[in-house]
Amino acid sequence: MWLGPEEVLLAGALWVTERANPFFLLQRRRGHGKGGGLTGLLVGTLDVVLDSSARVAPYRILHQTQDSQVYWAVACGSSRKEITKHWEWLENNLLQTLSIFDNEEDITTFVKGKIHGIIAEENKNEQPQSEEDPGKFKEAELKMRKQFGMPEVEKLVNYYSCSYWKGRVPRQGWLYLTVNHLCFYSFLLGKEVTLVIQWVDVTQLEKNATLLFPECIKVSTRDSELYFSMFLNINETFKLMEQLANIAMRQLLDNESFLQDKSLPKPRKPLKNISALKRDLDARAKNECYRATFRLPKDECLDGHTDCTLWTPFNKMHIPGQMFVSNNYICFASKAGEACHLIIPLREVTIVEKADSSSVLPSPLSISTKSKMTFFFANLKDRDFLVQRISDFLQRTPSKKPCCSDREWKWNLADPGCEEVPELPSSSPLAVSPTSALSNRPVNFSAGEVPTASQGLLKLFRRNSEELLGPKGAKEKMKQESWNIHFFEYGRGMCMYRTAKTRELVQKGIPENLRGELWLLFSGAWNEMVTHPGYYADLVEKSMGKYNLATEEIERDLHRSMPEHPAFQNELGIAALRRVLTAYAFRNPTIGYCQAMNIVTSVLLLYCNEEEAFWLLVALCERMLPDYYNTRVVGALVDQGIFEELTREYLPQLSEKMQDLGVISTISLSWFLTLFLSVMPFESAVVIVDCFFYEGIKFILQVSLAILDANMEKLLQCCDEGEAMTILGRYLDNVVNRQSVSPPIPHLHALLTSGDDPPLEIDIFELIKTSYEKFSNLKADDIEQMRFKQRLKVIQSLEDTAKKSVVRAVSSDIGFSIEELEELYVVFKAKYLMSCYWGSNRAAAARRDQSLPYLEQYRIDMEQFKELFISLTPWSCGAHTPVLAGRLFRLLDENRDSLINFKEFVTGMSGMYHGDLTEKLKVLYKLHLPPALNPEETESALEATSYFTEDVTTEETQEDKERRNENGPEKEEKGTSPQDYRYYLRLWAKEKESKKETIKDLPKMSQEQFIELCKTLYNMFSEDPVEQELYHAIATVASLLLRIGEVGKKFSNRPMRKSEDCKANNAQDPVSEEESPTSEQSQNSAVEQQPQADHEDKTCGDAQPEKTQQENQTLGDGSGEGQGSPLQLLSDDETKDDMSMSSYSMVSTGSLQCEDIADDTVLVGCEGSSSAARYGSTIDTDWSISFEQILASMLTETALVNYFEKKVNILQKIKDQKKVERQFSSSSDYELSSVSG
């Protein structure tokens, strides 16, 4: 490639000049190419350690002038061919012009100008891309591609200098982190190390320090542990590795492939050696942290953040912290932990203005909201720029006030005009809900009786309780008053100052009439509801009357959701729950519906109206409890792993006992999935939910630890899991809320008593207080870090389970051992995943359906199958191998969807590796019959067209016909009514029958199909150690079989002539196997009789009339099973080869493309030249041969029998295939190789 001219002072150092003229030098790097010796090794090591560009481009061209010592590099090349092309261009286009100049400076100026012109011309089309990544980084990406053979689509994210510890010896080199791989390359004094690991194979990533490995990163896979150290910035490297491994896990979990964000803002200053992709990943990490901290919607992107101070009116102080600005929000987080958090939605902002600076308040900024609150920020570094950004975002913010028209708000201590408080006090009239129009949904009774739940069901079903007048009622009023004072001091709604005082109030329990409002605010669900007006109503309307698996499960669980509560003992509560769950299942089909969602949603509906409950459910499933409610409850398993880790850290004595009993895995799922709602009395569990919406999963973990801590002594004395579960169940049953004003709801979890002793009651507020006192030092950031570590472990464990279940499912029918099947599954899955991230249209990712059984989730197409076949097949046929692979794929693809699953793949492989000679030959035989053999492979395109238009069914074998007949009614019945079990039994019986295929069931082979079979066999033997013997054997067998076919044809020719009328009828209406009821019987009888006729050389006249009729039928079958065309020619090339040859020599030499056959090879059976004279170069359509005849002929040749009986170790093939994949580059940069002139 041409280079922008760069000065080079020492042209001879480490370079060898190969060509020269008065103005240019062509140089090669020392050590590259032939020779090199010790100097070459030293230079190679130096280039790798210093990351020299000579690794990518070992050739260069320098511009020189006679009197100057300064040289200018104008071009470089990775190969001699590339650099020679540039050299020739310079000689042809510049030498003559340069010789005219007198002044050397003018020569240099002219050359530089010319080179810049060429580069500008080349980059004209690539201008947008060239600006993205800095030059040094592009060079590193080129090195990575060259070294590891990666395709263009594999993007480098970043690269780092480090040491890889091989044994106890550190190898200094370069670590390349790409989107899908971790790669390492080192070259030290001739010793080369190349590593390539897929991120999806990583099971553990750890950053640790030991005596042997000082501050290193440990990367674990199922097979090995790798250690890397001596990083310049180990924290940055480790974070990036975590991020890339996380992306890979997401790909395994829910098929989310990585797509680069092209809409990133360009950096204000050019960033040295940082790729656009690295900026993208950094931005993603910051966005995720920002959204999690302030509970913002999933599509919110951070624009920037800056240090500042916030004036807090409640304590008259300037609190230092950071301001975060994004498209729709301005947020503030204080540096002193939880001192103050603030979220200002831009839809609420009315005025942003710069106030006058003073020594007390430098660079102040005031932001006013619709609720008449004003926020003062000061000490802003770049205030003008910040104001401009906020103004830009404000202009894009819609001015209309969503949701307010749908509700009538009544305010306590808040100014009218703010949208923020969704509370409906009990005294207010029933508000009109945006979903009230949906009450017409067809249910079992009239619309008027089933209105939409437009406020919390608790308000509609509150029984007149004496508690409201007693001490509990007074306590509730005091709580309410505390919150009213808090709202007065700290603000109400989304713009409230959130401080330690807010948390204290939440810990004491939220008053019932404020619960819905505060849950919406603390979870961030309010933001999404306000910005999506009418969304829920539309979803309910779309999902109305639709039925799928999710809706069936929802219907089944509706009456199990808090059946003890009066709100769910009538149709109003049930209908509301049905609508919310169904709407969510349609919003997020990936999750759909999962058990436990009904319990959580029913509690949300007690305190919120339907729309609010829906958005709270969205916040729970998609942000606060990620991956909890998918089909494999991965999120809950991840947090269960964290819980086990925390138990080891905080309760080490108990941890071992719990591990022995296996209790943690049993208890934690029910605790976490339902937020204790299913295991604790309702009045107590709802206080846990209060704290959860404020604190997140951190609170659930700390309460779980407090429960184990409280029961430690009893648990340590347990003998088995059942006893431990009883102790914990009894404890949770007796956690009470003495302050609840609602009448107690009977708890149906487990009414466990201990003999005559009355159970000891535990106050929920005491439990919460204890959990904060003992375990409050848990940090949200630490939990996220632990989540990553556990997610790797959980997903890889699920993948191992999937592998075992798939292998177990297929092992009974396949000849491979369990170990071989597991290795094949790994290779198969790797090939599928490669197509996901390297496929041009990413169709592979789209075709994986998580709801399918494990066996069906990974499927590969023909191209991927060909790659696997070429590397694993024991039948290597050279250039013919891809053709054979295509045929096997078509044979295995029974449902014709151009994809095969793992079972079909190993079935094909097993046919080649296992079984006796007969089984292997049967596979080979089938590969040369339809549907495996394409008509295009044996006939001209014109004949193929007429063949397909005349009679398509002739290509189908009897099995295909049966399969089609089976599939047809199945599809019809599926669409209409539920299946009858007898139908499935019949299908199963047919499936079992079809497996009992005998050699007599195989259709006959036509002459052109036989020729294709011979071609395959010749190609198969071409690289065998005993290829001459095999060639001789196959020539003998082919000649013999051709004679057998000729004799069989003579045997049936005379009766055929007698029945020309019948033949004419057949031509008009061909009788194929599928259409003739007696075809199978007639074929079988013919198969039995024909070999006998061949060997005894009977004449046609001896045949009985019955036999004649059978043979006539058989011939009709043979042509039908063949290509079905009366005149079938070879392809043009084959025809040319065959013009002057007999039909036998055609098979053994001309059409088989067997150039490797030596001149002295004997071709047996050349006495049949009369048939060549008779048929010329055309294919004989009357000729056919059966599988039994081929098998019998093959058995006469020992060489062929030995070849097919030979055992091949597939594990060795898999190992070799992995090696080939790892050795991406054919030779290293400094490998000694010959250099052409």
Least confident of 205-209, 420-424, 872-876: 420-424
Q: 156-193 b/e with 16+ CB inside 10 Å = b?
A: bbbbbebbbbeeeebbebbbbbbbbbbbbbbbbebebe
Q: In what order do the strands lie in the sheet with 329-334?
A: 341-345, 329-334, 317-326, 302-312, 374-378, 365-369, 349-354
Would you state the pLDDT for residue 43?
A: 56
Would you state the pLDDT for residue 977?
A: 41
Provide mean pLDDT across the span 19-46. 66
Would you state the pLDDT for residue 1124?
A: 39
Nearest to 560 by CA among 552, 570, 548, 568: 568
Which pair of tokens denotes residue 1036? 């003998």
Instruction: State percent of the chain over pLDDT 70.
Output: 69
- Identify whether the C-beta of residue 419 lies closer than 8 Å to the C-beta of residue 517: no
The yes-or-no verdict on residue 295 having pLDDT over 80 is: yes
Which pair of tokens denotes residue 229? 């150290």
Provide mean pLDDT across the span 202-213. 80
Instruction: State percent of the chain over pLDDT 90.
Output: 26
pLDDT band for position 381 (cuts 50, 70, 90)? confident
- Identify whether the C-beta of residue 14 lies closer than 8 Å to the C-beta of residue 30: yes
- Where helices occur in 335-419 by DSSP H, the ranges are 383-396
- Identify whether the C-beta of residue 367 lies closer than 8 Å to the C-beta of residue 377: yes
Question: Distances from the Cα of 442 to the Cαs of 522, 560, 745, 981, in angstroms?
Answer: 35, 22, 31, 32
pLDDT band for position 455 (cuts 50, 70, 90)? confident
Provide mean pLDDT across the span 1047-1064. 57
Which pair of tokens denotes residue 2? 């041409």
- Identify whether the C-beta of residue 199 lies closer than 8 Å to the C-beta of residue 182: yes
Determine the Cα–Cα distance for residues 340 and 466; give it in Å rounded to an integer.
40
* 314-341 pLDDT per residue, tens: 888 899 999 999 999 999 999 887 779 9
pLDDT band for position 1040 (cuts 50, 70, 90)? very high
Determine the Cα–Cα distance for residues 224 and 335; give it in Å rounded to an integer.
42
The yes-or-no verdict on residue 1237 having pLDDT over 60 is: no
CB atoms under 10 Å from CB of 238, counted, come to 16
Would you state the pLDDT for residue 701?
A: 95
- Identify whether the C-beta of residue 471 lies closer than 8 Å to the C-beta of residue 392: no
- Identify whether the C-beta of residue 572 lies closer than 8 Å to the C-beta of residue 430: no
Determine the Cα–Cα distance for residues 601 and 617; give it in Å rounded to an integer.
7
Would you state the pLDDT for residue 600?
A: 94
Lookup result for tokens 């591609």: 145
Identify the residue with better confidence: 678 or 753: 678
The yes-or-no verdict on residue 656 having pLDDT over 90 is: no
pLDDT band for position 130 (cuts 50, 70, 90)? very low
The yes-or-no verdict on residue 1134 having pLDDT over 80 is: no
Would you state the pLDDT for residue 1120?
A: 38
SS3 label, residue 465: coil
Which pair of tokens denotes residue 373? 């609150």
The yes-or-no verdict on residue 573 having pLDDT over 60 is: yes
Q: How many helices, marked H, and strands, marked E, lie in the chain? A: 49, 25
Which residues fall within 8 angstroms of residue 285, CB to CB, at 6 or more apart?
Answer: 239, 243
Determine the Cα–Cα distance for residues 585 and 536; give it in Å rounded to an integer.
12
Strand-pair category, 735-736 with 762-763:
parallel
Q: What is the pLDDT of the chain when averaged over all its residues? A: 75
Count CA within 13 A, CB hemisphere, residue 600. Answer: 30
* 518-551 pLDDT per residue, tens: 999 999 999 999 999 999 999 999 988 888 888 9
* 89-109 pLDDT per residue, tens: 888 888 778 777 877 788 888
Alpha-carbon dihedral sign for residues 781, 782, 784, 789: positive
Tell me the three-class secondary structure of 737-777, residue by residue.
Answer: CCCCCCCCCCCCCCCCCECCECCCCEEHHHHHHHHHHHHCC
Query: For residue 1170, how far is the Cα from the chain centroid?
Result: 62
- Identify whether the C-beta of residue 406 lies closer than 8 Å to the C-beta of residue 452: no
Q: Is cis: bond before 931, omega within 30 of 0?
A: yes
The yes-or-no verdict on residue 791 having pLDDT over 80 is: yes
Q: Is 699 exposed, middle or buried (0-12, 13-18, 19+ CB in 10 A)?
A: buried
Which pair of tokens denotes residue 951? 């009679």
| Total residues belonging to the chain | 1237
* 880-930 pLDDT per residue, tens: 889 999 999 999 988 888 889 888 899 888 888 887 888 889 899 988 888
Provide mean pLDDT across the span 1107-1117. 39
Determine the Cα–Cα distance for residues 29 and 52; give it in Å rounded to an integer.
11
Identify the residue with better confidence: 448 or 244: 244
pLDDT band for position 1077 (cuts 50, 70, 90)? very low
Would you state the pLDDT for residue 10?
A: 60
Dihedral (Cα; 521, 522, 524, 530), 10-degree rounding: 0
The yes-or-no verdict on residue 954 having pLDDT over 80 is: no
Which pair of tokens denotes residue 25? 């030098």
SS3 label, residue 375: strand
Which residues fall within 8 angstroms of residue 751, CB to CB, at 6 or more apart?
Answer: 733
The yes-or-no verdict on residue 212 having pLDDT over 70 is: no
pLDDT band for position 163 (cuts 50, 70, 90)? confident
DSSP label of 220: E
Would you state the pLDDT for residue 1067?
A: 41
- Identify whether the C-beta of residue 612 lies closer than 8 Å to the C-beta of residue 490: no
Identify the residue with better confidence: 1166 or 88: 88
Would you state the pLDDT for residue 24?
A: 83
* 1204-1218 pLDDT per residue, tens: 888 888 888 887 776
* 813-870 pLDDT per residue, tens: 788 889 989 999 998 988 888 777 676 544 554 556 666 777 777 888 888 899 899 8
Would you state the pLDDT for residue 495?
A: 93
Identify the residue with better confidence: 1186 or 1049: 1186
> What are the two backbone dihedrals, phi and then psi, of residue 208, each rounded to the nearest 5 degrees?
-145, 170
* 49-89 pLDDT per residue, tens: 555 554 556 778 888 777 777 787 888 877 778 888 888 88
The yes-or-no verdict on residue 120 having pLDDT over 80 is: no
- Identify whether the C-beta of residue 749 lies closer than 8 Å to the C-beta of residue 725: no
Determine the Cα–Cα distance for residues 235 and 233; give it in Å rounded to an integer.
6
DSSP label of 437: G
Count CA within 13 A, CB hemisphere, residue 950. Answer: 19
Would you state the pLDDT for residue 933?
A: 82
Q: Is 1038 exposed, middle or buried (0-12, 13-18, 19+ CB in 10 A)?
A: buried
CB atoms under 10 Å from CB of 1119, counted, come to 23
Lookup result for tokens 């100097």: 39
Would you state the pLDDT for residue 1104?
A: 39
Q: 413-427 b/e with 16+ CB inside 10 Å = b?
A: ebeeebbbbbbbeee
- Identify whether the C-beta of residue 322 lies closer than 8 Å to the C-beta of residue 307: yes
Determine the Cα–Cα distance for residues 827 and 834; give it in Å rounded to an integer.
11
Determine the Cα–Cα distance for residues 395 and 474; give it in Å rounded to an integer.
48
Determine the Cα–Cα distance for residues 261 and 282; give it in Å rounded to an integer.
11
DSSP string, 488-502: HHH-SSTTPPB-HHH
